[in-house]
Structure 1
Amino acid sequence: MTVTIYDVAREAGVSMATVSRVVNNNPNVKPQTRKKVFEAIERLGYRPNAVARGLASKKTTTVGVVIPDISNSIFAEVARGIEDIANMYHYNIILCNADKKKEKEIRVINTLLEKQVDGLLFMGGAVTDEHVQAFKTANVPIVLCATTDEQGTIPSVDIDHEAAAFDAVNALIQKGHRAIAMISGTLQDPANGYARFQGYKRALEQAGIAYDESLVRVGNYRYESGIEAMKYFLELKDTPTAVFSATDEMAIGAIHAIQDSGAKVPDDISVISVDNSRMASMVRPQLSTVAQPMYDIGAVSMRLLTKLMKKENVDDPKVVLPHEYISRQSVQPV
């Protein structure tokens, strides 16, 4: 049978109110009494009912996190940052994978809200009207993590994706490259897709390099799509001397496609990307990339959410963290 607070009170010889104060870390309990209650809890194997406590306090100390792809190490790093700060502020995390599918994202958001979470962190692609409508029905704070909404009305933590892509492509241009291809993410994705594509185009324009549509292929962020895009570039009459990939995973696919063709990176083709996942330093040659501070994005997002949940003062609900170019072995001058 389930052990109740009444059983603990009887075992310890105290009132149920005293047990409640001990369980909720109320300081107004004598040390000797607190010790007796904890001993009774241990003997009986009592576990406080989180649901009941949540109903009483109208707080569940639980935060819902929607993650687009749990198998992607980039999002795993964000989740680690979220969890570390959540633990620091005594919040539990419910992590839900949405597979980068809008319908599933909306369903997961509504499910988490039905579970009475105290706040919600959303990592995903495009924040559509359907997402915004789901957020509006929530009576809890929402923070966008590693993404933003077009209107800029929802609190968020991210980097400047256009500037990050610009810096990556500009690094190639500074090495003398002019035939620069891009493996893009879907242009419906405002951050990893469209913004990085715009950064690519701006870098070319600023350097006086004409934009060539045939040098752009759209991938799905996966390793395999990087391979397919690179195979297409290798079959062009004028093979590009460098490739900019919107993500590390697609860039690694491109590197392997180049190597499988008998060409070399960076001797024949240079490759650069944005992310700086662990894979970037594991591939050979090591991948030059623009680093997103993924752990910090998760940690700062969770800290912002705690402030909103506690109704603390927030100076700026739109946080843009800095990025950094990491030079490795996959880029060399023409």
Structure 2
Amino acid sequence: MTVTVTIYDVAREAGVSMATVSRVVNNNPNVKPQTRKKVFEAIERLGYRPNAVARGLASKKTTTVGVVIPDISNSIFSEVARGIEDIANMYHYNIILCNADKKKEKEIRVINTLLEKQVDGLLFMGGAVTEEHLQAFKTSSVPIVLCATTDENNTVASVDIDHEKAAFDAVSLLIQNGHRQIAMISGTLQDPANGFARYQGYKKAMEAAGLPIREEYVRIGNYRYESGLEVTKHFLELSDRPTAIFAATDEMAIGAIHTLQDNGLKVPDDISVISVDNIRMASMVRPQLTTVAMPMYDIGAVSMRLLTKLMNKETKEASELMQVVLPHEVIHRQSVAHRS
């Protein structure tokens, strides 16, 4: 059996008090260098590991942040997670990452579980923020920041882009290139960011150009590659095919490109394709995908930094940054051609 080494064992081994060991472990500067060295040597000899739970109970801080991620297999969210982790490491916080599978019931359960584990703060990433979510947030005694999403009334701190403007800019680029018959592969309209906001951006760009919103040109996908494949088959069956497709996500856009190619069409010569996200695969597919880049790493990093301000009660600075909107950028590649 492995015997658990305690702070008492370290104190006895080093010939100091338990209070001295505690000060060393917690990086208290009021310890003589010689004593500190002696304690560290004892810790190494005995293989002592401080009990984070006990320390958390004593200090009422666990230096742990909970992160709820909607789909860990989606490269968009993994890039956000990288930004979160880098800033968390910089400020000496540990991360508990929980995948929620884009299911509301699981998201609520995970939020409550993380709060029960006494995390110091919570980052909720992506997806719709419903009344049930807000109710769970209200019971929290620790700060919460929404990451790559917002709540409808901006009652919770958030970091995101302007999804409507990103979609507007993407569709406007198609219009500037002479396209008039523009189809959209949308996300679910219950999703305020990737779904509804991006559909609104498409709609407003079409209306601004005096172009009709044709019902047969708008179809709902599930953000993934497979739905891009399937929805594009519908567009190809129309007697009046679109000359361009705007997809709400890169994965669906890549699915669209492959369906077009499988049916003997050339992108962008026959049909142009554009989307929003700028995942790594966007530059790997051929032709390379023109897309609106979301600064996913920055969204994660800024969210974590805002959370540290709230956790450390830097309220004056944090209150000025409760709703942070980061800039997006159109990345011009090879999937959009001019239509004469």
TM-score range (shorter-chain normalised) is over 0.9
Q: Which position in structure 2 is the counterpart of 1:175?
A: 177
Structure 2 unaligned segments of length 5 or more: list them. Answer: none
Greater mean alpha carbon deviation, residues 314-323 or residues 164-173: 314-323
- Please show how residues 202-221 of structure 1 align to structure 2 within 5 Å: 202-221=204-223
Match runs of 1:1-334 below 5 Å:
1-312=3-314, 313=316, 314=318, 315-334=320-339
Q: Distance in 1 between matches of 2:333 and 2:227?
A: 23
1:272 aligned counterpart, secondary structure: strand
For the residue of structure 1 that corresponds to 2:159, the secondary structure is strand
The TM-score normalised by the length of structure 2 is 0.98
| % same residue | 84
User: 2-side partners of 1:216 and 1:208: how far apart?
Assistant: 17
TM-score, normalized by length of structure 1? 0.99
1:64-106 Cα shifts (integer Å, max 9, x gaps):
0000000000000000000000000000000000000000000
TM-superposed deviation, 1:264: 0.8
Task: Report deviation, 1:125.
Answer: 1.1
- Take 1:125 and 1:88, find their aligned partners in 2: how far apart are those partners? 27
The runs of 5 or more residues in structure 1 that have no matched partner are none
Aligned-partner Cα distance in 2 for 1:221–1:105: 18
Secondary structure of 1:26's match?
coil
Classify the secondary structure of the residue corresponding to 1:254.
Answer: helix
Amino acid at match of 1:323: H
- For the 8 Å contact 2:306–2:321, the answer to whether it is kept is no
Give the CA deviation at 1:210: 0.8
Amino acid at match of 2:206: L
**How many residue pairs were aligned?**
334
3-state DSSP of counterpart to 2:313: coil
In the alignment, the residues of structure 1 paired with residue 54 and residue 185 of structure 2 have an alpha-carbon distance, to the nearest angstrom, of 51
Quick one: distance in 1 between partners of 2:244 and 2:256?
11
Partner of 1:54, secondary structure, is: helix
SS at match of 1:156: strand
State the Cα deviation string for residues 2-31 of structure 1 (Å, max 9, x = none).
000000011111111110000000001111
How far did 1:213 drift? 1.1
Q: Which amino acid aligns with 1:55?
A: L
Aligned-residue CA RMSD (Å): 0.5
In structure 1, how many angstroms separate the alpha carbons of the residues matched to 2:281 and 2:74?
11
Letter in 2 for 1:292: M
